[in-house]
């Protein structure tokens, strides 16, 4: 205490005011009291307030609830789900929960995380409330302003405008994003009735090369990896060639469920080896991660075939009795160019490792070689897919329990074709791109299309931006998306939770399964089922094939689903259980749809697999760009879902972004640190992102997750992360015409 302070009370004549006297003690007491009161008031004001008295809050507001069986459409797996609908005493109806449907054996009643996001697909704040028509003179694409660029139109008017534009069948292009199976059937039917061959299914962007390579061998478009057969036989060994089995590979929910089974629930745990440039979720869950140079998966498959054939480990029974072209294939595979030592040089996998894995693979039955998108999305993708697929044949895993099976489909009632010839397989990406480039298209209709976000060269000098700006484009979809930003007319379709339809199980189980799609809630906006939109358009053009099952336009979607599924089971039963299951799969039919009727080994051009551009070969663009699809990339084209956003990259614990992932050595060479802003450049363009320096990455590779970089999808998606497609350039798979998404060289700079 200072001297002045101690002396003050003792000073002989302290100063006093005459009118008001207060002792020191009282002053302290009063001011303390005032302070305490103020504090109490502040506390009382800031104290959390209850909106209502506790008694009223604890009163039930739940009037009724039910679970409705329907199916998901957040990825192509289309799982059977059940949805909890509640009604409150205040009369509010809301969907509050989504779970797998236990009636579905396909994924054993489970659904993956994507299904849960369905709530936010339905309650997406950026849905279109009405049909919209673009005002003249407004700019399409990135600069879109949904509020001011469009004006409301009623359904009749919007459909009339489209019908007016439909003048020549050849000049119509139909783009098909992720749609319900029943709507896909109707879209094909519409194209057929109208007479346009130009239907492009965007799923082909990811799968055409892979499917093409498999079809070379067995002529069947629908082979799938069974993992666990109905009798409990499980795959014993999985060679995953850059395949995200538990991350993105379809059928995802089935893969996830059976992953739990093969890893721990069945005797003899399945061994999984992952060849992948990136330490993916699948690689981290596998028994062994073998980092490889991107694009060398096909060559590696041939090296494994080399070991199997040189050491006589192949399944002679299958190879001798059911295959064609084996001798030539064997001779080619056993040449020096595919020896483990030669392939080791380009793939960076040690020759001993190749030998060991080849032996393990051939000696654990049933074993499967699983080709992922990253292995087949190359200019030689069809060949790579074929080479990997042939490994399955060498070890006799074709059409056996736990191996590869051929998917069967439900026996739906025939499409009401009225004599239309049924053959419309659609066009390839290359053909579609050519048509647009040549100006051969006047009008395009996109059903949930996500084209601009999923093709290379989408922006900057990109041709897609320019092409789509020139096109008269009709977007059919429930919510804002980048394709809608190019639209001249937007038709708000229902979300899958408000729609009628049916879904078929995709390849994986062998046996057929059909799932219902029924509205769990009345349409939230003035949106209509895709089926009805097609029906109304067809009526305006008086197209055949849209009448026999009809009652009214309003009921068409339901009646069509009812008609098509009538051979399966009673409609009411189907609506309540939600799932129809076909008879058990019968193995070893070996019915190959090839010229020879056998499984065909093709050995032409296999040396092409060795001509891979490795990282570091080009000095200007020394790195290889690899994309991947995280589990929470919702595959319907929008990412405007906060739940999916905030848990986007589980391996990095990050949300609301994607990252430029590089190996620490590569980062060091380029002077890049964790979290720094970097620019990824290719000859086509550049994007900016945040660097993530990781150990789990092949040096010389840059990996970026897809699904971000939106700019016209709504408040939870726009401006988040970057879209790696923006720097890709277009090269086609030589056989299937699929763009090769993994063949882009980049360099990386500090921003």
Partner 1 sequence: MANWGMVIDLDKCVGCQACSLACKAENNVPHGSPYDHKRHHDIYWHKVIAAWEGEYPAVNTQIIPMPCMHCDHPPCVNVCPSKATYKRSDGIVMQNFRRCIGCRYCIVACPYGARNFNFRDQVDKEYQRPDLPEDLGLSNEGHIGPWPYPHRTRGVVEKCTYCFHRIDQALENGEEVGSKLDGKHGVLPACVEACPTEARFFGNLDDPDSAVSKLLASRSFIKLREEMQTEPKTIYLPR
291 binds partner 1 per the rule CB under 8 A: yes
Question: 3-class SS at 166?
Answer: coil
Q: Which of residues 637-666 bind partner 1 (CB under 8 A)?
A: 642-643, 646-647, 650-653, 655-657, 663-665
Q: Rule CB under 8 A: choose which of 5, 62, 267, 595 binds partner 1.
A: 62
Instruction: Choose the binding region for partner 1 from 149-157, 256-264, 298-306, 670-678 (rule: CB under 8 A).
Output: 256-264
**What is the x/- site pattern for partner 1, positions 595-634, by CB under 8 A?**
------------------------------------xx--
Contact 689, 726 (CB under 8 A): no
49 binds partner 1 per the rule CB under 8 A: yes
111 binds partner 1 per the rule CB under 8 A: yes
Nearer to partner 1, 68 or 256 (CB): 256
Q: Rule CB under 8 A: choose which of 281, 369, 404, 672 binds partner 1.
A: 281
Instruction: Choose the binding region for partner 1 from 160-168, 262-270, 492-500, 587-595 (rule: CB under 8 A).
Output: 262-270
Nearer to partner 1, 476 or 479 (CB): 479
> What torsion, rounded to 10 degrees, do the Cα atoms 645, 650, 653, 658 define?
-50
| Other CB atoms within 10 Å distance of the CB of residue 268 | 9
* CB burial readout 684-702, b (16+ within 10 A) else e: bbbbebbbbbbebbbbbbb
Contact 62, 42 (CB under 8 A): no
Kindly determine how many residues on this chain lie close enough to bind partner 1 according to the rule CB under 8 A.
75
86 binds partner 1 per the rule CB under 8 A: yes
Task: State in angstroms the smallest separation of the CB of 651 from partner 1.
Answer: 5
Number of H helices and number of E strands within the chain? 26, 27
Q: Rule CB under 8 A: choose which of 204, 379, 615, 699 binds partner 1.
A: 699
Q: Rule CB under 8 A: choose which of 128, 200, 275, 289 binds partner 1.
A: 289
Q: Rule CB under 8 A: choose which of 184, 185, 218, 247 binds partner 1.
A: 247
d(C-alpha 66, C-alpha 93), whole Å: 11
Instruction: Choose the binding region for partner 1 from 172-180, 275-283, 439-447, 589-597 (rule: CB under 8 A).
Output: 275-283
Contact 217, 323 (CB under 8 A): no
Which DSSP category does 278 fall into? B
Largest alpha-carbon pair distance within the chain? 123
Contact 242, 276 (CB under 8 A): yes
- 96 Cβ partners below 8 Å, 6+ apart? 84, 85, 86, 119
| Other CB atoms within 10 Å distance of the CB of residue 68 | 20
Instruction: Choose the binding region for partner 1 from 87-95, 234-242, 380-388, 670-678 (rule: CB under 8 A).
Output: 87-95
Contact 374, 298 (CB under 8 A): no
8 binds partner 1 per the rule CB under 8 A: no
Q: Rule CB under 8 A: choose which of 75, 83, 117, 405 binds partner 1.
A: 117
* Structure-token pair, residue 415: 């499409």
259 binds partner 1 per the rule CB under 8 A: yes
Question: 3-class SS at 520?
Answer: coil
**What is the x/- site pattern for partner 1, positions 701-740, by CB under 8 A?**
-------------------x--------------------
* Structure-token pair, residue 225: 């990896």
d(C-alpha 533, C-alpha 527), whole Å: 10
| Other CB atoms within 10 Å distance of the CB of residue 409 | 15
Q: Three-state SS across 468-507?
A: HHHCEEEEECCECCCCHHHCCEEECECCHHHCCEEEECCC
45 binds partner 1 per the rule CB under 8 A: no
266 binds partner 1 per the rule CB under 8 A: no
Nearer to partner 1, 81 or 487 (CB): 81
Task: State in angstroms the smallest separation of the CB of 312 from partner 1.
Answer: 31
76 binds partner 1 per the rule CB under 8 A: no
Task: State in angstroms the smallest separation of the CB of 647 from partner 1.
Answer: 5
Q: Rule CB under 8 A: choose which of 161, 165, 171, 285 binds partner 1.
A: 285
Task: State in angstroms the smallest separation of the CB of 357 from partner 1.
Answer: 15
53 binds partner 1 per the rule CB under 8 A: no
Task: State in angstroms the smallest separation of the CB of 450 from partner 1.
Answer: 22
Closest of 201, 735, 162 to residue 432, by C-alpha: 201
Q: Rule CB under 8 A: choose which of 97, 161, 165, 334 binds partner 1.
A: 97
CA atoms within 13 A on the CB side of 222: 14
d(C-alpha 149, C-alpha 132), whole Å: 9
Nearer to partner 1, 463 or 654 (CB): 654
177 binds partner 1 per the rule CB under 8 A: no
Beta-sheet pairing, 599-600 with 744-750: unpaired
Closest of 747, 743, 659 to residue 700, by C-alpha: 747
Question: 3-class SS at 394?
Answer: helix
Q: Rule CB under 8 A: choose which of 68, 75, 76, 110 binds partner 1.
A: 110
Nearer to partner 1, 4 or 50 (CB): 50
d(C-alpha 493, C-alpha 503), whole Å: 18
65 binds partner 1 per the rule CB under 8 A: yes
* Structure-token pair, residue 359: 């032996």
Nearer to partner 1, 120 or 428 (CB): 120
Task: State in angstroms the smallest separation of the CB of 257 from partner 1.
Answer: 5
694 binds partner 1 per the rule CB under 8 A: yes
β-bridge partners, 175: 200, 446
125 binds partner 1 per the rule CB under 8 A: yes
Closest of 129, 135, 160, 137 to residue 150, by C-alpha: 135
Q: Rule CB under 8 A: choose which of 67, 105, 123, 360 binds partner 1.
A: 123
Task: State in angstroms the smallest separation of the CB of 523 from partner 1.
Answer: 19
Contact 241, 371 (CB under 8 A): yes
520 binds partner 1 per the rule CB under 8 A: no
96 binds partner 1 per the rule CB under 8 A: yes
92 binds partner 1 per the rule CB under 8 A: yes
């Amino acid at each position: 205490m200072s001297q002045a302070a101690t002396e003050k009370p003792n000073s002989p004549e302290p100063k006093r005011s005459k009118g008001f006297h207060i002792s020191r003690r009282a002053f302290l007491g009063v001011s303390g009291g005032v302070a305490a009161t103020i504090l109490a008031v502040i506390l009382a004001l800031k104290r959390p307030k209850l909106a209502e008295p506790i008694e009223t809050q604890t009163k039930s507001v739940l009037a009724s609830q039910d679970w409705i069986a329907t199916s998901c459409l957040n990825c192509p797996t289309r799982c059977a789900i059940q949805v909890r609908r509640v009604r409150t005493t205040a009369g509010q109806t809301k969907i509050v929960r989504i779970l797998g449907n236990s009636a579905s054996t396909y994924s054993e009643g489970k659904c993956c995380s994507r299904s849960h996001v369905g709530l936010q697909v339905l309650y997406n704040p950026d849905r279109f409330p009405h049909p919209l028509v673009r005002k003249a003179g407004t700019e399409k694409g990135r600069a879109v302003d949904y509020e001011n660029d469009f004006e409301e139109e009623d359904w009749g008017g919007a459909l009339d405008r489209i019908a007016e534009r439909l003048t020549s069948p050849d000049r119509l292009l139909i783009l098909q994003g992720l749609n319900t199976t029943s709507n896909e059937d109707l879209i094909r039917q519409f194209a057929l009735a109208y007479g346009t061959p130009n239907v492009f299914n965007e799923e082909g962007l990811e799968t055409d090369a892979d499917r093409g390579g498999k079809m070379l061998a067995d002529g069947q478009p629908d082979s799938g990896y069974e993992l666990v057969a109905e009798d409990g036989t499980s795959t014993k060994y999985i060679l995953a060639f850059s395949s995200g089995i538990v991350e993105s590979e379809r059928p995802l929910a089935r893969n996830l469920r059976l992953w739990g089974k093969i890893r721990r629930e069945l005797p003899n745990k399945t061994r999984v080896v992952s060849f992948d440039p990136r330490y993916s979720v699948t690689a981290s869950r596998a028994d062994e991660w073998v980092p490889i140079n991107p694009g060398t998966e096909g060559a590696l498959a041939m090296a494994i075939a080399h070991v199997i054939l040189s050491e006589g480990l192949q399944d002679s029974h299958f190879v001798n009795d059911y295959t064609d072209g084996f001798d030539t294939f064997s001779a080619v595979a056993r040449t020096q160019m595919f020896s483990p030592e030669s392939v080791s040089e380009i793939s960076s996998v040690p020759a001993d490792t190749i030998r060991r894995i080849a032996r393990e693979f051939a000696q654990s039955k049933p074993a499967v070689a699983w080709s992922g998108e990253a292995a087949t999305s190359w200019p030689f993708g069809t060949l790579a897919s074929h080479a990997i697929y042939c490994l399955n044949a060498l070890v006799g895993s074709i059409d056996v329990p736990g191996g590869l099976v051929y998917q069967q489909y439900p026996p739906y009632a025939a499409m009401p074709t009225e004599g239309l010839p049924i053959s419309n397989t659609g066009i390839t990406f290359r053909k579609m791109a050519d048509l647009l480039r040549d100006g051969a298209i006047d009008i395009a209709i996109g059903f949930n299309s996500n084209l601009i976000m999923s093709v290379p060269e989408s922006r900057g000098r990109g041709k897609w931006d320019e092409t789509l700006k020139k096109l008269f484009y009709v977007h059919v979809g429930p919510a804002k998306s980048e394709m809608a930003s190019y639209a001249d007319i937007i038709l708000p379709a229902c979300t899958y939770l408000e729609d009628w339809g049916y879904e078929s199980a995709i390849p994986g189980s062998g046996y057929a399964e059909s799932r219902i799609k029924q509205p769990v809630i009345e349409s939230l906006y003035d949106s209509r089922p895709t089926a009805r939109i097609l029906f109304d358009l067809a009526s305006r053009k008086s197209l055949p094939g849209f009448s026999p099952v009809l009652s009214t336009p309003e009921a068409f979607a339901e009646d069509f689903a009812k008609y098509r599924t009538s051979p399966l089971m009673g409609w009411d039963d189907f609506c309540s259980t939600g799932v129809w299951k076909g008879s058990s799969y019968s193995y070893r039919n070996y019915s190959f749809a090839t010229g020879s009727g056998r499984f065909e080994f093709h050995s032409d051009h296999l040396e092409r697999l060795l001509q891979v551009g490795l990282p570091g070969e080009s000095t200007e663009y020394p790195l290889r760009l690899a994309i991947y699809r995280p589990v929470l990339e919702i595959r319907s084209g929008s990412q405007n879902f906060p739940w999916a956003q905030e848990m986007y990259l589980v391996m990095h614990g990050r949300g609301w972004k994607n990252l430029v992932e590089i190996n620490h050595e590569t980062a060091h060479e380029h002077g890049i640190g964790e979290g720094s802003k970097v620019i990824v450049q290719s000859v086509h363009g550049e994007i900016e992102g945040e660097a993530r320096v990781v150990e789990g990455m092949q040096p010389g590779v840059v990996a970026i997750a897809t699904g971000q970089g939106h700019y016209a999808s709504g408040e939870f998606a726009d401006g988040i992360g970057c879209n790696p497609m923006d720097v890709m350039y277009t090269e086609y798979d030589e056989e299937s015409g699929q763009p090769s998404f993994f063949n882009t060289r980049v360099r990386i700079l500090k921003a």
